[in-house]
Structure 1
Amino acid sequence: MVMMNVFLHFRSCSRDYGGIMSVLGSDSWWKKTLYITGGALLAAAAYLLHELLAIRKEQELDSKDAIILHQFSRPKNGVPSLSPFCLKIETYLRMVDLPYQNYFDGKLSPQGKMPWIEYNHEQVSGSEFIVDFLEEKLGVNLNKNLTPQERAVSRAVTKMVEEHLYWTIAYCQWVDNLEETQKLLAMSGPLSDTLKWLLSHLNGSMVRREMYGHGIGRFSKEEVYALMEKDMRTLATLLGDKKYFMGSKMSTLDATVFGHLAQAMWTLPGTRPEQLIKGELINLAMFCERMRRRFWPEWFVEVEDLYYDGDSESSGGGSPTGLLDFGLFSRTDTLDDSDASSHSAGHTHTHSPDSDHSLFDSDVGTGSDNDIQLKEELMPDLEV
């Protein structure tokens, strides 16, 4: 009798245990748990972001005859943006010499895009549509001297960069080097560390999901980097020894490529893309430095950051001689007279009578006077 009771008790416990395990193993139970957890994280991130934006001083925007550029906040390391498309559009505005006002509100466009602009109370998002809009409304056009064949090549390369290379760089930033990228986010306040962790990991998850939908995210890490290297080598071959991608004159393609390659050049230290651009594909580094010097004079870069040295601990820092050996600076690569005159006339930081901001309204940190003087002493008459 006792044995029978023990047996029945064991069967009862087994049924209860099996029932519990069947519930735990249920797909619907796990899905509900994941949905609830994910929803809680999203709600917490949305609340923290709302609180961060709420404490910012409200600004009244008037886009009448003024370009308002909405984009992400500046990162900590002095690079204007961690977004290739934000950097592309702001560089483009400087290339065509159009005054604009930055607005770092973090608010996406109605289409969920960043960057986006307002002009005369019209809103435009998507970098390609922004360029088309400015060409139509303000008559600027960097591609006016290109032949129909060159325009076709420019568009094909643009699509390779924005629809293919972009995802490999995003993978390197937000998946493979997420912790390092997280450190670059500029946020303040008592919850800044928590907010940076949440936003960076949410963005990393979105990049993974969107890469999978694109198709490129279905490959291994090694395969993604192999695709990235092919794209970068293609760009290096196309550029060759030219000043800009379509020849001696600038085009919209230069703003596009610069926005993407600048991420590899200055935001991903020690990674495969940085090793490529500052080492074997040095002409791409020359191009990035040429663009930075011409259109971002307030963006200060240390000399040793312009080339890659795998043995950084024993290198003892960079030197102008080493850079010249790499061919990074060239006297034959200076601006021609017409470019130089238009550059000096169009890119002086003119101040409006009622504003202390320059036409570019940029808040990128500049080097100190001593740093600038040292840079001039190291490179007295070299222009890129």
Structure 2
Amino acid sequence: MVHWAAAFACSRSLVLELGRTRNLSLELCGPDEQCSLCGFALGFPLHDYGAFMAALGSDSWWRRTLYLSGGALLAAAAYLLHELLVIRKQQDLDSTDVIILHQFSRPCTSAPSLSPFCLMLETYLRMGDLPYQNYFDGKLSPQGKMPWIEYNQEQVSGIEFILEFLEEQLGVNLNRSLTPQERAVSHAITKLVEEHFYWTMAYCQWVDNLEETRKMLPVSGPFSSLIKWMLSHLTSGIVKREMYGHGIGRYPKEEVYALMEKDMRTLATLLGDKKYIMGPKLSSVDATVFGHLALAMWTLPGTRPEQLIKSELINLAMYCDRMRRKFWPEWVVDFSDFEYSEGGASSDTPSLLPDCDSYSGTETSEEELTNCTLSCSHTTDTEGSSGSLFDSELEMEASEVEQLKL
């Protein structure tokens, strides 16, 4: 039997399955029960439904059929409405010679994303001064990847393949100024961050610091707490399984954090007193390193990586702020974001970032910036707009971005 209320399908075992459903084993269910996620409809068992079932059982067969048919029609209408909205949104985003960037929605924090790869790729597009449109649908690529892009109806997923595609199709190469040896070093640093450091940060984010991360999930509505709980624990379970398969998840917490600290200290040593990872000029590795370190700076309150980057490894904090100021002018922070407080908690206030759909690489006025037409040819921050760790670097060299496009 299916009882419909407030767009929720409730039953002991769901008869109705719409579209592509996923069975989730959650603590909300009994040992032999499962929950089904159908578009925006959640199915879970109700513990106080005996009276309803008794009344339903006493009705004639045509009344029960009517209940089931009504629930099915409501579910079908909700699903079709969702699909129509998705199709309409997709049609709105289909643009010629404009990159469509599929990524997760902006979180409830000042950082643009909880995914280091989404933040990395969007930063890379801004570094290359490429116009793009954001599509915050959370839909994975055909290969099961996030983020991914579409360009003139062609789909590309996987960070490495996306960068190769952008170089071939649009001529964007942020490593053009590097020597062959420097490119090899850049590649090695990229793999250190993506294949090792990433997993230690994922452990901190989705396992050890899950409660704070859950607060940042971009979910709203009357059932937001329940949905956040389900999504956070689902993601945590996936991360644990993937970490175990990788190998790093087979070690205890103390050893995982020891590996994370070694990686952070290595990055701090490689950076030294240089402006960027490979020296005075930007390269693609800067987008990668920034995308991962920014999580430690702004999304992991009260954790060991936040403590390291804001106290001992201050050059990494300065580096993150440098990248933020240069390529994310709408990302506003204050001085408290650069202070570590043990046991700190994240804010429940909405993200300070506008949930922008589109990006343009052309220079815009301050009014246009407010309306989410962002610019990669940045000017210096106005007084009081945001805090900075390096007042001596308030003057940004606009020529750097121009050199990346040559």
Q: Which TM-score bucket, shorter chain as reference?
A: 0.7 to 0.9
* Pair 1:40 & 2:34 matched: yes
The separation in 1 between residues aligned to 2:387 and 2:298, in whole angstroms, is 23
Q: Quote the offset at 1:241 in angstroms.
A: 0.2
Counterparts of 1:174-323 in structure 2, within 5 Å, are 174-310=206-342
* Pair 1:54 & 2:74 matched: no
RMSD: 3.4
Q: Describe the SS at the equivalent of 1:374.
A: coil
The separation in 2 between residues aligned to 1:104 and 1:294, in whole angstroms, is 23
The separation in 2 between residues aligned to 1:103 and 1:38, in whole angstroms, is 38
Identity in percent: 65
Q: Quote the offset at 1:39 in angstroms.
A: 7.3
Q: Quote the offset at 1:78 in angstroms.
A: 1.8
TM-score (norm 1): 0.73
Return the match for 1:95 from 113, 127, 135: 127
Q: Describe the SS at the equivalent of 2:305.
A: helix
Structure 2 vs 1, CA of residues 42 and 216 (structure 1 numbering), >3 Å: closer, same or farther? Answer: farther
Q: Quote the offset at 1:348 in angstroms.
A: 2.5
> Hey, what does 1:145 align to over in structure 2?
177
| 2:35 counterpart letter in structure 1 | L
Q: Describe the SS at the equivalent of 1:286.
A: helix
Answer 1 or 2: which has greater helix percent.
1
Unaligned segments of structure 2, at least 5 residues: 1-24, 44-74, 345-359, 395-406
Structure 2 vs 1, CA of residues 101 and 360 (structure 1 numbering), >3 Å: closer, same or farther? Answer: farther
| 1:358 counterpart letter in structure 2 | T
Return the match for 1:173 from 179, 195, 205: 205
Return the match for 2:103 from 71, 81, 86: 71
User: 1:349, 1:358 within 8 Å by CA — same for their partners in 2?
Assistant: yes
User: 1:63, 1:118 within 8 Å by CA — same for their partners in 2?
Assistant: no
Counterparts of 1:121-160 in structure 2, within 5 Å, are 121-160=153-192
| 2:134 counterpart letter in structure 1 | N
Structure 2 vs 1, CA of residues 33 and 148 (structure 1 numbering), >3 Å: closer, same or farther? Answer: closer
How many residues in Structure 1 have an aligned counterpart in Structure 2? 310
Structure 2 vs 1, CA of residues 249 and 379 (structure 1 numbering), >3 Å: closer, same or farther? Answer: closer
The separation in 2 between residues aligned to 1:77 and 1:232, in whole angstroms, is 23
The separation in 1 between residues aligned to 2:103 and 2:112, in whole angstroms, is 10
The separation in 1 between residues aligned to 2:160 and 2:309, in whole angstroms, is 26
Structure 2 vs 1, CA of residues 83 and 37 (structure 1 numbering), >3 Å: closer, same or farther? Answer: farther
The separation in 2 between residues aligned to 1:48 and 1:258, in whole angstroms, is 36
Structure 2 vs 1, CA of residues 271 and 377 (structure 1 numbering), >3 Å: closer, same or farther? Answer: closer
Structure 2 vs 1, CA of residues 359 and 280 (structure 1 numbering), >3 Å: closer, same or farther? Answer: closer
Pair member with larger Rg: 1
Return the match for 2:195 from 163, 171, 193: 163
The separation in 2 between residues aligned to 1:47 and 1:279, in whole angstroms, is 45
The separation in 1 between residues aligned to 2:170 and 2:264, in whole angstroms, is 33
